[in-house]
Chain A
Amino acid sequence: MTVTDHSRATADAAHTHGLGTPTPDASRADRPTSFDVDAFTVPTGREEEWRFSPLKDIKPMLADQATDGHLEWDVPALPEGVTLTEVSPADARERSVRAPGDRASAVAAAHAGGAMALTIAPNTVVDEPIQITVTGRGEDVRGHLLVEAGASSEATVIIERRGTATYSEFVSVDLADNAGLNLVLLQLWDEDAVHAGEVVARLGRDSRLRGSVVTLGGKAVRLNTSAAFAGEGASVDLFGLYFADSGQHQEHQLFVDHAVPRCTSRVTYKGALAGATARTVWIGDVLIRKEAEETDTYELNRNLVLTDGARADSVPNLEIETGEIAGAGHASATGRFDDEQMFYLRSRGISEEEARKLVVRGFFADLIQEIGVPTVEESLMKAIDLELEHVNEELAEEHA
């Protein structure tokens, strides 16, 4: 187990921790953003942001080519003040909070043929969660999505992805001043889906974003989430839950950009891995710029390895450019559910399957409660139990 914990890190000019960062950019902020695909070279796998990624699976989504596939959208009757509209490519670019940050994302935006925009009008307060389900039919799909929370609006949006697709997307999340948004992205793909996504959020003054990402399905999922503060007094909570079994690659990269004073960020990602070829990657970058005085930030990644062979990479990076901060820290730990723990639980009469369930449910319980949508929380526990059944079957086969 490796643990790094700096609950109150000292303020260096550039305070960075990483697992052997080869040639880091001068700052995470220096990475280019552009709607022009050619602004990004085709990654080779040596780049810092691609070095853990399964490029073989992602390759089709790096080609500067149009596709004609679509996802099927299942949208409920939207409450008053909430609209879902198709937006022209020019408007889509204009209304995005910033340009894409990597090639997959730039390709997605360039060939999505415009964007779908979910817009919550200013001062709209929606009590019930807005649940949208998109289903892949095995096609090659590029997507561009805008989520726009108007000033002083309050809403919960759940976007659930099912079925299978080779899907890349660029998602822009815009919180106007004092908006509150709970955005839940569920990756419940079939086992052969490939998904590369970039989610970029901009937080206006006093706005509150709670962003939860749950990745259970898919052959390869690579999600890049960025949150940038544009106004003081805003806060972002980013939660992530993932569970990879054999043959799955699940990668979550995060970047929180503290560019203005008095903002708060919390990043909490937890993952479980089971099966010899299960693979997860978590990279959490936090930048506290010179201007961002009184920043309060903490990021945490925990991984639970259930079987031999599975591999979890965890790379927290904290860059601090000002000494005037309220708090900054990160923690990363990867633990193993080992034979001794298993023996202990079994010696109390608990079967192997039950023991694994007890440990995994315990591991995720507090995180699931953070999602804040009871129906999602319930179905997630069920989905995790299903994952475990799958793991148990796989292990039983190995033993046979």
Chain B
Amino acid sequence: MSTLEIKNLHASVETPEGTKQILKGVDLTINSGETHAIMGPNGSGKSTLAYSLAGHPKYEITEGSVTLDGEDVLAMSVDERAKAGMFLAMQYPVEVPGVSVSNFLRTAKTAIDGEAPKLRTWVKDVKKSMDDLRMDSSFAERNVNEGFSGGEKKRHEILQMELLAPKIAVLDETDSGLDVDALRIVSEGVNRVKDNTGLGIMLITHYTRILKYIQPDFVHVFVNGQIAEQGGRELADRLEAEGYDRFLASA
């Protein structure tokens, strides 16, 4: 049982026009096995929240705290956060030329576990996970994200999540740009990992469509760098019907 606790989180970013405050006091607790949908309009700071949790150098944390099972996440380097059990599935996964997927996965697994995985079980695990995500085996020899389609990139993110087995995963608009088939495959993958490992999930999304496939336990409406409203599944249904206008007017 793990708990990610975000308290009063403030984050800013340097822009040509000066320092811009983006997160303005985020409070959120995610436990193992829970799925929290973070929904909000574009520019509300959802991705900043995701990147801040992962430790992207572009964002400066100006106030607040983040702990994972009591450990200070903000004091950790980017790779230390991953080793502690945090995972960020990125909205725009980065191409890394010259590094094959199989080499990348093995290196990451070795880094997370502190020792190289046993070859035989590892090869089997990778193959099973790739099969489940309908990824052709030739994928393993391609360079990381190089020439991948949008759907392939997202499946590759979920593949990593399954193999690295984090405690808490932040899925940053994993559904954006996916057709229905790809969305279903990716969602099944997320559900499978959750069922198998008791993963806690922060599911950042702009659309309600993915919530047909991944059942949220909690829905949070994110507006102007803060959580504006919280509720259950029904809140998502209301957003589906009404959109974000109600929140934007008051913001």
A→B interface (CB under 8 Å): 304, 335, 339-341, 343-352, 354, 358-359, 362-363, 365
Contacts and interface: CB of A to CB of B under 8 A. Distances in A.
B56 interface: yes
Contacts of A343: 54, 56-57, 78, 94
A352 B87 CA distance: 17
Nearest to B113: A349
Given A346-B82, A348-B82, A362-B96, 6 more contacts: A348-B108, A350-B79, A350-B108, A358-B103, A359-B96, A363-B98
Contacts of A349: 79, 82-83, 108, 111-112, 164
A230 B100 CA distance: 41
B210 to A, nearest CB: 22
Contacts of B82: 346-349
Contacts of A348: 79, 82, 104, 108, 111-112, 160, 164
A344 B93 contact: yes
B79 A335 contact: no
Contacts of B99: 358-359, 362
B94 A344 contact: yes
A363 B54 CA distance: 27
A348 B84 CA distance: 11
A358 B104 contact: yes
Contact of A350 (B57, B97, B111): B111
B98 A351 contact: no
For chain B, give the interface size range: 20 to 34
Interface in B52-92: 54-57, 77-79, 81-83, 87-88, 90
B216 to A, nearest CB: 24
B54 A354 contact: no
Contacts of B77: 346
B78 A346 contact: yes
Interface in B163-180: 164
B107 interface: yes
Contact of A354 (B88, B97, B100, B107): B107
Nearest to A344: B94
Interface in B95-123: 95-100, 103-104, 107-108, 111-112
* Residue in A344, A349, A358 with the greatest tally of chain B CB atoms within 10 Å: A349
Given A348-B111, A362-B99, A362-B103, A341 B94 contact: yes
A339 B57 contact: yes
Nearest to B144: A344
B96 A351 contact: no
B57 A345 contact: no
Contacts of A365: 98
A291 to B, nearest CB: 39
For the complex of A and B, the 3 pairs showing the least CB-CB separation, nearest first, are A362-B98, A349-B82, A348-B108
A357 to B, nearest CB: 9
* Residue in A346, A352, A359 with the greatest tally of chain B CB atoms within 10 Å: A346
A392 B2 CA distance: 35
A339 B100 CA distance: 19
A347 B78 contact: yes
28 contacts: A304-B98, A335-B97, A340-B94, A341-B95, A343-B54, A343-B56, A343-B57, A344-B96, A345-B104, A345-B108, A347-B79, A347-B81, A347-B88, A348-B104, A348-B108, A348-B160, A349-B79, A349-B112, A350-B79, A350-B111, A351-B111, A352-B79, A354-B107, A354-B111, A358-B103, A358-B104, A362-B98, A363-B97
Nearest to A342: B78
A88 B249 CA distance: 92
A400 to B, nearest CB: 16
Nearest to B92: A340
Contacts of B94: 340-341, 343-344
Contacts of B90: 344, 347
* Residue in B77, B78, B87 with the greatest tally of chain A CB atoms within 10 Å: B78
A344 B95 CA distance: 9
A304 B98 CA distance: 10
Contacts of B160: 348
Contacts of A344: 90, 93-94, 96
Contacts of A358: 99, 103-104, 107
* Residue in B54, B95, B97, B143 with the greatest tally of chain A CB atoms within 10 Å: B97
A351 B103 contact: no
Contacts of A363: 97-98
A304 to B, nearest CB: 8
Nearest to A352: B79
A363 to B, nearest CB: 4
Contacts of A347: 54-55, 78-79, 81-82, 87-88, 90
Nearest to B97: A335
A351 to B, nearest CB: 5
A335 B96 CA distance: 11
Nearest to B145: A344
A346 B112 CA distance: 11
A35 to B, nearest CB: 43
Contacts of B81: 347
A187 B56 CA distance: 39
B114 to A, nearest CB: 10
Contacts of B112: 348-349
Contacts of B56: 343
A346 B81 CA distance: 9
B204 to A, nearest CB: 15
A183 to B, nearest CB: 26
A346 B108 CA distance: 9
